[in-house]
Structure 1
Amino acid sequence: MKKQFWMGLVAGALVSAGCGTEPLEEERARPVVERYAALVNENYTDVVAKARTLQTAVNVFIADPTQAKLAVARSAWLAARPAYGQSEAFRFYGGPIDDEDTGPEGQINAWPLDEAYIDSVEGAPGAGIINATGEFPTLSEKLLTELNERDGETNIATGYHAIEFLLWGQDQSTTGPGNRPASDFEDGGTAPNAARRREYLKLVTDLLVKDLESVQAQWAPGANNYGKTFTALKPEEAVQRILTGMGSLSGAELSGERMTVAYDNKDQEDEHSCFSDSTLADLYANAVGIQNVYLGRYGNQDGPGLDELVAEVDEELDKKMKQQLQASLEAIQAIPGPFDQAILGADNSEGRQKVKAAVEALRAQTETLVDVATALGIELNLE
């Protein structure tokens, strides 16, 4: 999401001194940098494949909007999310996903989303772009792109969460996700402007696939693209970017924006995937993505990771880092679902204690990531 990072996560500990070892040696670091670029491509290739499966399910649903086909589309959305969540470890350093001028991240995964900006909500049956037939008589990809985040960061018109809202509707349950009926998409069904709702869902799904394909193409091997430029960087610069992505996701974004804000506010609107109640899966995928980068692995593919560089200069630090990465995963898994209920209640309730423990585990691993940078002779500045 394109928004201000949550500050003050680990006080002043987020800047390393940049001392303690000689700069990274080319022969040690180059294989790690090349493996990182390959890993990124593997991850984004998976992201695109899952998004295309979602696209197919959405097309089948809008052609014949039955409850069974809506369920398949929802399952495809849920199946598409883990790969993208893992890929967020490649953000925060101006790469193809979030380049200040050309990066499509704000169209892909921006949140939190004001439901009434897109469609009708309880108490406002005429709300949203879908029902604004006078103001927006013709829906198009160009229009939705222009409307995304216009006049406010919650005015989200595109991306995973726009699709999520259309598939599930508002979440008004304490025990489960939203339950929009398929008949909202049927002509003469339970909601007006069904044809526009179908058209909107198709447009945002097609745009999501297109945006993700554009990012993946920038990391495809054998092309004159960002991936080629990245692997040609000096090792210090490349590893600094790698660590910046990991540390920013681990700290300011994951433990901060995605968990601490919701914990402090006790507000469902602050959780990541609130319509489908799949926020815990999002958090876990983010943590897996950080671990993947450190270990140099994605799925069944493995290769030289940062762990090998760190182990050569400080075996105990490498061991500590690996333990903390695993501890964060286990802490997130221990949070009772759904997340929007875990953040409620007294501070001594099980849910809030588990959320707090996960936040603390992520903060600890973020501090250690800064220690990793220092051990490699890199200055790391995280917001």
Structure 2
Amino acid sequence: MQFNRLVLAVTLGGLLSACAQTSTPAVTKDQVVEHYADIALAVYRDSLTAAQNLDQAIAALLANPGEQTLTNARSAWLAARVPYQQSEVFRFSNPVVDDWEGQLNAWPLDEGLIDYVTPGYQHELGNPGATANIIASTHLQVGGERLDVTDITPDLLASLNELAGSEANVASGYHAIEFLLWGQDLNGTNAGAGERPWTDYATGKDCTHGNCDRRRDYLQAASTLLIQDLQYMTAQWQAGQDNYRAELTALPAEEGLRRMLFGMGSLSLGELAGERMKVALVANSVEDEHDCFSDNTHHSHYYNEKGISNLMFGTYQRIDGSTLQGPSLLQLVAQQDDQAAANISEQFRTSEQEVYQLVQSAELNKVYFDQLIAADNPEGNQLVQNAINALVEQTRAIELAANTLGINNLNPDTADHEF
């Protein structure tokens, strides 16, 4: 399968990323910031390309609904997550990304806003949109407001995000598309992902669960909006334009480095170790699993980690197999303190390997993240805890890099978690 080959290629590159060259000619802070922007551009370009491939697979599914076309669309979604998850390291310190990201990757979501769900499914208490079922409705009543949802368009979906002020009302983005391709995962902490039938996209008498025409419209609109959003963000990182990249590179280089390091530390600690792993582990909650419909969470976490590693080592393996490499943070650190650079490199290698254990559990043992966090799986719990611990240590390595470069009081975001 194409996705598996892509994962293998990127994974092998990832596990070797710590073999950075620190004996190359001296680099400057300005060069490192410029290369940071180059990596961002490459990651978003790849995310856009993968989303366009997904859109083509969705078009094929809608043109000829069947088991194979649904499988192909799911594979394209999985492949699209590889570059996008590596982009999240740019989120926490670049306002243009953080303000935009929710429309693409917000989670967890109350899927009853979008389509049919099982009776009594878990959702955010007090959320008036939790069972709205846009696909089965032409109008939504939210408080005293009556919303016309007759025509399902990208603009409509964008307007329905955080409906009635609830962050659980997610109408667009990767996870809305994921739900539309897989459906609910009703297996809890047992094996298995969502099992939406291809007949949910059939026409005429073959249609299951009703409203197949609107479900088709919704899936296409969500895919179109995803592409539009990624086109916007790719443009923000183009060189020689009046955009966010120009704003960033016009700042003092120390501020650019601070943004890099703060974003890396915040994703490593508060978001990945905290929101995406610790919350789910402590509560044994599949509702807090990141890619919960597809059981792709192990890859989602690994490529978040890979995105952090990319910036430390100044390298990014593109989806076409080529590698972008340039002036790195680690080189800057090595120019100040060889031992600090060696310690940082070793910790990053260890952390990447620990997070990769989640991938190996899924790929080799067929024990996925939602099974690892089960209350009756102490060995699985420990595997997740090991990854959390490694991410905490990685954050300390990021802080060491910052201190070595004279960037004090980095204070990466903990998302109010204690470690």
Give the Cα separation in 2 of the matches to 1:134 and 1:32.
51
Give the Cα separation in 1 of the matches to 2:209 and 2:39.
44
Alignment check: 8 A CA contact 2:108 2:290 kept? yes
Flag the structure with more relative contact order, 1 or 2, with Cα contacts below 8 A and sequence separation at least 6.
1
Give the Cα separation in 2 of the matches to 1:329 and 1:375.
22
Partner of 2:161: 148
How does 1:124-135 map onto structure 2 within 5 Å? 128-135=133-140
Alignment check: 8 A CA contact 2:27 2:327 kept? no
Give the Cα separation in 1 of the matches to 2:332 and 2:269.
22
Residue 395 of structure 2 corresponds to residue 366 of structure 1: yes
Q: Percent identity?
A: 44
Alignment check: 8 A CA contact 1:287 1:325 kept? no
Residues 26-77 of structure 1: CA deviation (Å, up to 9, x unaligned): 9721111111111111111111111110011111111221111011000000
* SS of residue paired to 1:97: helix
Amino acid at match of 1:121: V
Amino acid at match of 1:158: S
Consecutive unaligned residues in structure 2, runs of 5 or more: 1-25, 122-130, 141-148, 318-322, 363-367, 414-419
Alignment check: 8 A CA contact 2:279 2:288 kept? yes
Give the Cα separation in 1 of the matches to 2:340 and 2:46.
31
1:351 shift after superposition: 0.6
Consecutive unaligned residues in structure 1, runs of 5 or more: 1-25
Give the Cα separation in 2 of the matches to 1:237 and 1:84.
25
* SS of residue paired to 2:97: coil
1:235 shift after superposition: 1.0
- The match for 1:328 among 348, 351, 374 is 351
Amino acid at match of 1:325: F
> Structure 1's 27 and 330: CA in aligned 2 closer, same or farther, altered over 3 A?
closer
How does 1:1-383 map onto structure 2 within 5 Å? 28-98=28-98, 103-123=99-119, 128-135=133-140, 136-151=149-164, 152-173=166-187, 174-187=190-203, 188=205, 189-299=207-317, 300-335=323-358, 336-337=361-362, 338-346=368-376, 349-379=378-408, 380-383=410-413
Structure 1 stretch displaced more, 359-368 or 220-229: 220-229
Alignment check: 8 A CA contact 1:70 1:182 kept? yes
Amino acid at match of 1:377: G
Alignment check: 8 A CA contact 1:310 1:372 kept? yes
Structure 1 stretch displaced more, 258-267 or 321-330: 321-330
1:127 shift after superposition: 5.1
Alignment check: 8 A CA contact 2:27 2:331 kept? no
Alignment check: 8 A CA contact 1:120 1:127 kept? no
Amino acid at match of 1:164: E
1:382 shift after superposition: 2.0
1:244 shift after superposition: 1.0
Amino acid at match of 1:372: A
1:293 shift after superposition: 0.4
Normalised to the residue count of structure 1, the TM-score between the two structures is: 0.89
Amino acid at match of 2:374: L
Amino acid at match of 1:214: Y
Amino acid at match of 1:199: D
1:353 shift after superposition: 0.6
Give the Cα separation in 2 of the matches to 1:302 and 1:278.
28
Amino acid at match of 1:234: P
Structure 1 stretch displaced more, 372-381 or 202-211: 372-381
Alignment check: 8 A CA contact 1:111 1:272 kept? yes
Normalised to the residue count of structure 2, the TM-score between the two structures is: 0.81
> Structure 1's 317 and 231: CA in aligned 2 closer, same or farther, altered over 3 A?
same
Please give the root-mean-square deviation of Cα atoms over the aligned residues, in Å.
1.7
Alignment check: 8 A CA contact 1:292 1:298 kept? yes
Residues 223-282 of structure 1: CA deviation (Å, up to 9, x unaligned): 221112222221111100111111110010000000000001101010100000000000
> Structure 1's 181 and 27: CA in aligned 2 closer, same or farther, altered over 3 A?
closer
